[in-house]
Structure 1
Amino acid sequence: MAALWSRERQQDFRSRVRGCLVGGAVGDALGAGIEFLSLDEIRAQHGADGVTGYVTAYHRRGAITDDTQMTLFTVEGLIRAHVRRDDGLWHPPSDVHRAYLRWKATQSEWGPDERRDEGWLVREEWLYSSRAPGHACLRGLDDEVMGTLDKPKNADSKGCGAVMRSAPFGMLVGWSPDLVFQLAVECAVLTHGHPTGYLSAGVFAVVVHALMQGASIDAGVRGALEIAAAHDGHEETVAAVEAALAMVRTGTPDSGRVEELGQGWTAEEALAIGLYCALVAPDVRSGLLLAVNHSGDSDSTGSICGNLLGAMHGETALPADLVAELEGRGTMLQLADDFSMEMTQSAALHGADGPRTHWAKRYPAT
């Protein structure tokens, strides 16, 4: 794959990967301190404009939540899936599932167990903090039995816990949109088995996939809805996305219009709000602030909007003051760069017949 990539294209890809991951984390952190407040409560505490920057959450400013934690483990699972091909093994949902089980451990254990060789990400001590994880995510990972489309975990759950972690599937630019959609869906049912829960994840991933390649949000949405419409149970997801598109044409964006799309606790509402705010954003900061200043799941809608805007514009478009104060930024950049190298230069990092390199320790094929 690397031979097909010019240096300029590799640099653009890395900038968009970084932008997608860090942008999502910035949106997550902007919403972290107001996630459970109504719009009236947000304005009462922070002024008529609501939050205009980070507020304290989890004892610090710029703190991320479970949304970013799970997104990072999604990225790690995808890298390890590609490494495992050296052993003739190729089933990415299994590798993502194992990554989510590692995330689950960070929600209850005191810190990393140095006796276990599970790669570098799970040894990052700052990740060992419970940040209001969704009940469906926790229940779906209570045991090591993997949910599938035939037998999904939490068959009635359509919370936003699957869609908010699914941007990394869209970063697989060498894949077709259909395969990106399918992988996002198969990894969503690990915890969320309602069609709206997993189809929204698929739609989100395909939109990110389009943005990563320089297409517009509109083009990405059209392609994603076409794929989704072929699946049973697509009606809620498609209706919510179409409502977001229609809202763009109603006038000047404001929190009232955001709240007409819902509160973001369910997958289709979070997706609709994130899409709407990204579509109407005159700049990244304005889009992110619009995405979090509403009654509802502010961190998830901010995260989704940030993933979209970061993938669209690249890392240098992100507000520098917000990036500088973001919790875990170093880890995110390492992971983003590792993903970029794996997707574009994997032959130099590992191979079935080549020597074992440092990469095998970072991403063990287990």
Structure 2
Amino acid sequence: MVESAIVLDRVRGALLGGAVGDALGAPIEFMDLARIRTRFGAGGTSGFVSNRALPREVTDDTQMTLFTAEGLLRWRPGTDPAPALRHAYVRWLRTQRRREPPPDDDSWLAGQQFLYAVRAPGTACLRGLDQQLRGPRTPHRLGKPGPLNPDSKGCGAVMRSAPFGLAGFGPDMAFAFAGRCAQLTHGHPTGYLAAGALAALLDRVLNGTELTVAVRDTIAQLTEVTGAQETVAALRHAVECDAAGAASPERVEAVGAGWVAEECLAIGVYCALYAARTGDIRGALLLSVNHSGDSDSTGSVAGNLLGVTHGLSALPTEWVTAVEGHATILRVADDLVANFFLRDRTALGGRYPFED
């Protein structure tokens, strides 16, 4: 059993690391590598890029991750998590269409004004949740196309799924819960199984498994799941690219672009493996965003993995404290630990009514 202080540091690191990666990648998400280098030099961006001084803005990746956490905090153990997560994601959807929560909304999180920013949310997430509003769709058994967006394997499910791996469920349950709830918007097996794989990987690392072993064990877990071939291949390719030599944006692009789920996960894993091998956490965060693909989502997933592996205390302090919503993210991380590891809901201060 990992000590509670270490768990707290790692859960804080996972959520804030994801937010840092998101904020680093957001301004260059739609730039190709050549343009990034033309603007910032051969090494690409070396830090936050923004027209504003502070805070450094996050996107829907961090927004939806926080609502995932809220859904888990409202979920009643022993029940299907999908309804609680559906309600949480619908609350996020409202933030994209309103300026403030409706008067009858009991969500503490929905009262945080920075979450109302609209920053290129994913089409599959919006379309899937609109369909959920018209009538809840129950996720199918893992390994088959889900009921909504059955052809969508974009990264919009994997980039929000870290909290499933930060609740101490164990890798099998973390995988199943994340995959099931990813089907609320993404029905392609790769789209939701990659989300499950991220959760299982985070769960293993949080509970003390060394990263390379956790990656190996997660790949082995996936090989037993119908429909996981693309995710398995992408993760194996990430491991091979890490073993092949010095890290570079070109090698990141050999792993993928990150627009689809398995490539987003694989890039995050590749960058986390680089940091485990070199100790260069700052460099790994920059590596995860300086490429031609979906820089904010790959930065988010890499940040989740770097944070859970090394803890908040190892992340660059000046980046962590500058990120938008820092205090809220920290509070949500602490609530996850209080609820799932300390079994002491008094720490939550009444912020999450346990009815949904």
**TM-score normalised by the chain length of structure 2:** 0.93
**What are the ranges of 5 or more consecutive residues in structure 1 without an aligned counterpart?**
351-356
Which position in structure 2 is the counterpart of 1:118? Answer: 106
Secondary structure at 1:349's aligned position in 2? helix
Give the partner amino acid of 1:94: P
Which position in structure 2 is the counterpart of 1:234? Answer: 228
CA RMSD of aligned residues (A): 1.9
Q: State the Cα distance separating 1:348 from its structure 2 match.
A: 5.4
Say whether 1:56 aligns with 2:50: yes
Say whether 1:261 aligns with 2:258: no
Q: State the Cα distance separating 1:117 from its structure 2 match.
A: 3.5
Give the partner amino acid of 1:106: T
Equivalent residue in structure 1 for 2:95, among 98, 106, 111: 106
Q: Judging changes above 3 Å, is the alpha-carbon distance between structure 1 residues 35 and 152 closer, same or farther for their aligned structure 2 residues?
A: same
**Contact between 1:228 and 1:238, CA under 8 Å: does it hold in 2?**
yes
Equivalent residues, number: 346
Divergent runs of 4+, >4 A? 57-61
Which position in structure 2 is the counterpart of 1:138? Answer: 126
Secondary structure at 2:202's aligned position in 1? helix
Using the aligned pairs only, state the percent identity. 48
- CA-to-aligned-CA distance 1:205-236 (integer Å, 9 cap, x gap): 11111110121222112221222212221111
Which position in structure 2 is the counterpart of 1:95? Answer: 84
- CA-to-aligned-CA distance 1:4-39 (integer Å, 9 cap, x gap): x8xx81111111110000001000100010001000
Which position in structure 1 is the counterpart of 2:346? Answer: 349
Give the partner amino acid of 1:345: L
The whole-number CA distance in structure 1 between the counterparts of 2:140 and 2:220 is: 20
Secondary structure at 2:18's aligned position in 1? helix
Q: State the Cα distance separating 1:58 from its structure 2 match.
A: 8.5
Q: State the Cα distance separating 1:146 from its structure 2 match.
A: 3.1
The whole-number CA distance in structure 2 between the counterparts of 1:59 and 1:67 is: 21
The whole-number CA distance in structure 1 between the counterparts of 2:51 and 2:117 is: 12
Give the partner amino acid of 1:252: A
The whole-number CA distance in structure 1 between the counterparts of 2:117 and 2:308 is: 27
Give the partner amino acid of 1:256: E
Q: State the Cα distance separating 1:202 from its structure 2 match.
A: 1.1
**Contact between 2:339 and 2:345, CA under 8 Å: does it hold in 1?**
no
Which position in structure 1 is the counterpart of 2:282? Answer: 285
Q: State the Cα distance separating 1:245 from its structure 2 match.
A: 0.5
**What are the ranges of 5 or more consecutive residues in structure 2 without an aligned counterpart?**
none
**Contact between 1:247 and 1:276, CA under 8 Å: does it hold in 2?**
yes
The whole-number CA distance in structure 2 between the counterparts of 1:116 and 1:59 is: 35
Secondary structure at 1:205's aligned position in 2? helix
Which position in structure 1 is the counterpart of 2:139? Answer: 148
**Contact between 1:147 and 1:191, CA under 8 Å: does it hold in 2?**
no
The whole-number CA distance in structure 2 between the counterparts of 1:26 and 1:363 is: 29
The whole-number CA distance in structure 2 between the counterparts of 1:233 and 1:321 is: 41
Q: State the Cα distance separating 1:40 from its structure 2 match.
A: 0.5
The whole-number CA distance in structure 2 between the counterparts of 1:268 and 1:358 is: 38
